[in-house]
Structure 1
Amino acid sequence: MKKLAIKSWSQDDRPREKLLLKGKNTLSDAELIAILISSGNREESAVDLSKRILQSVGNNLNNLSKLSIEELMHFKGIGEAKATTIVTALEFGKRKQFEKKQQISKITSSFDVAKIMQPIIGDLEHEEFWVLYLNNSNKILANHQISKGGLTATLVDVRIIFKKALELFAVGLILCHNHPSGKLIPSNSDIELTKKIKKATFTLDLKLLDHLIITEKAYFSFADEGVL
């Protein structure tokens, strides 16, 4: 079946024209992606190709954001440039979501921390270790990536954690790392590292307020569970 090129569509149905005439909120996810990739392949229009890509991930943008450039290039009509454009656009969306979460003015619970950190590390396929640095009013001074590791572990240099705390004149620390496996149970190394950091905070007159293990849909709080 010969594809119907977008140029032959009614002007109201062309994604770019629709965006200009009716506004961004009128476009479907597939139409937005079609604008990004500009063209399809010999059998599909840009919109049809975009629909097929979305269907492959259950029409879920979060799942789409997990596809690598190489995985996107498996779709006929998606080369490196188009795949890079899709990944870049989704990363911008993720960062916008993160900035919105950062507007939390004061940390009052582990839930506040999870809201900030899940968009950053919740869906990663490797482990990362982050620290939130707080002032005396529990307001965030900075959040900093300490280390980046593999599928099951990441090495943490405790000296880096405290160097940053002293530079910021922080009063409180909240540790965060993700478990790509989705398991929320802290490992023995998680527990030992937490104890090591907590012991060091006494010497520097700092407070270790919590340690969260983050997954895509849930979290484990050492403080909430009484194991800090």
Structure 2
Amino acid sequence: MWQGVQEDALPASGTRYAAHRHAVPQHASLRHAATQHASTQHASTQHASTQHASTQHASTQHASPRQHPAPNPERLPNGGTFRPGARSNRLPEPSLAFIRRAIGPGSVEVPATPQPLQLTDTSPLRHWPERERPRERLLRHGAAALSDAELLAILLRTGNRGQSAVALAKQLLADSGTSLSRLLTTEPEQLMRMDGLGPARATTLAVVVELARRVLVEKMEDSILINSPEIVKEYLGITLRGLAREVFVVIFLNAQHRLIRADQLFAGTLAQTPVFPREVVKRALELNAAAVILAHNHPSGLPTPSEADRILTRTLQTALGHVDVRVLDHIIVAGGQHHSFSVHGEL
């Protein structure tokens, strides 16, 4: 309702004007009021949003461990620390007494103290301490520091079921009368009859002896044998020692007493060997030898020459002398002992 204007005092045309003139302020007032109301609502919304953001920011700040550091770590008995809420803690080195106190009596089964491995000959070598294994000991101290059984164990590589390689080596030595030379000079066919030795191991042992013999042959080839009796004895020891039957060997030399060839010409039984002087002379002529060294073994273990040995030596001296071939020595090998006819003045 418009106030301050009397409707009948205005002309008809002015009525519309007055109404229009007075309606403008009222319409503007309404728009202003609406604008203020919208501004108020917008301000309220912004304030609410600001409060919500502040609340979230405060919550985030409260959750951050940097703003609220954890309490000081608690020190545990027996060392170590514990910080509540931490992802990880440094624990102490536990002792049985500490575990019992922490958990309570009767709650912990204490394991038995492990006992060190008691090594015997039945233990596989892989279970032995590394410093005690034959191969490692050889590398550290040299082959001379090892026993015969340990050296054999390296060749055998493995043992049998319930028996280490060292135990097997000891057994083989015992079966050979504790004689390493007898074991190594045994024919492979006989070795394979022994418990624990198959074709592979038997041939390995045979190869070792043959390599040693060839090394000594090279030494003899480079030496004047009349001046090197020890090399001859070493060679004959490798060749004849430990054999189960008698064999007869002739070493043929040239005019400078250097090695031409060493041949095993005859083999016999446990007690005797048939020797044919004509075959010895024939071989000496084939090789154009100027001198010979005769040798044979005594499986009985005694190097003392028999009367038959003395007769054979004189017979060969006479037969070879007819073709200008000298007999420099006749050596008998028995175990680790030697008998030289030359040294004893029996030539």
TM-score range, shorter chain: 0.7 to 0.9
Match of 1:138 among 257, 269, 273: 257
Deviation of 1:157 after TM superposition, in Å, equals 1.5
Q: Contact between 2:184 and 2:205, CA under 8 Å: does it hold in 1?
A: yes
> Once the two structures are superposed, what CA deviation does each residue of 1:141-178 show, in whole Å capped at 9, x if it has no partner?
11111101111110012122111111111111111111
- After TM superposition, the structure 1 = structure 2 runs for residues 101-116 of structure 1, keeping only pairs within 5 Å, are 101-102=219-220, 103-108=222-227, 110-116=229-235
Q: Contact between 2:277 and 2:316, CA under 8 Å: does it hold in 1?
A: yes
Q: Which runs of 5+ in 2 are unaligned?
A: 1-117
Q: Contact between 2:249 and 2:294, CA under 8 Å: does it hold in 1?
A: yes
**Once structures 1 and 2 are overlaid, which stretch shifts more, 25-34 or 218-227?**
25-34
Deviation of 1:115 after TM superposition, in Å, equals 2.6
Which residue of structure 2 aligns with residue 172 of structure 1?
291
> Once the two structures are superposed, what CA deviation does each residue of 1:171-222 show, in whole Å capped at 9, x if it has no partner?
111111111222413323x122122111122321221222111222222222
| Pairing 1:212–2:331 present | yes
How far apart are the structure 2 equivalents of 1:96 and 1:194?
27
How far apart are the structure 1 equivalents of 2:346 and 2:255?
23
How far apart are the structure 2 equivalents of 1:30 and 1:203?
50
Equivalent AA in structure 1 for residue 339 of structure 2: F
Equivalent AA in structure 1 for residue 304 of structure 2: L
How far apart are the structure 2 equivalents of 1:151 and 1:22?
43
| Pairing 1:202–2:321 present | yes
Which residue of structure 1 aligns with residue 198 of structure 2?
80
> Greater Rg, structure 1 or structure 2?
2
**Once structures 1 and 2 are overlaid, which stretch shifts more, 154-163 or 88-97?**
88-97
> Once the two structures are superposed, what CA deviation does each residue of 1:26-48 show, in whole Å capped at 9, x if it has no partner?
98765664554454444344455
Equivalent AA in structure 2 for residue 186 of structure 1: S
Which residue of structure 2 aligns with residue 185 of structure 1?
305
Q: Contact between 2:303 and 2:333, CA under 8 Å: does it hold in 1?
A: no
**Once structures 1 and 2 are overlaid, which stretch shifts more, 42-51 or 55-64?**
55-64
Q: Contact between 1:110 and 1:224, CA under 8 Å: does it hold in 2?
A: no
Match of 1:122 among 231, 241, 249: 241
| Pairing 1:153–2:272 present | yes
**Once structures 1 and 2 are overlaid, which stretch shifts more, 179-188 or 29-38?**
29-38
Closer, same or farther: CA 215–22 of 1 in aligned 2, 3 Å: closer
| TM score, norm. by length of structure 2 | 0.51
How far apart are the structure 2 equivalents of 1:213 and 1:100?
22
> Once the two structures are superposed, what CA deviation does each residue of 1:69-120 show, in whole Å capped at 9, x if it has no partner?
25631xxxx2524652553354346435644653544322644432321111
Which residue of structure 1 aligns with residue 111 of structure 2?
none
Q: Contact between 1:110 and 1:221, CA under 8 Å: does it hold in 2?
A: no
Deviation of 1:125 after TM superposition, in Å, equals 2.2
How far apart are the structure 2 equivalents of 1:200 and 1:97?
32
CA RMSD, 1 decimal: 3.7
Equivalent AA in structure 2 for residue 158 of structure 1: P
- Count matched residues: 222
Which has the bigger relative contact order, CA under 8 A and spacing at least 6? 1
| TM score, norm. by length of structure 1 | 0.73
Closer, same or farther: CA 137–93 of 1 in aligned 2, 3 Å: closer
Closer, same or farther: CA 130–58 of 1 in aligned 2, 3 Å: closer
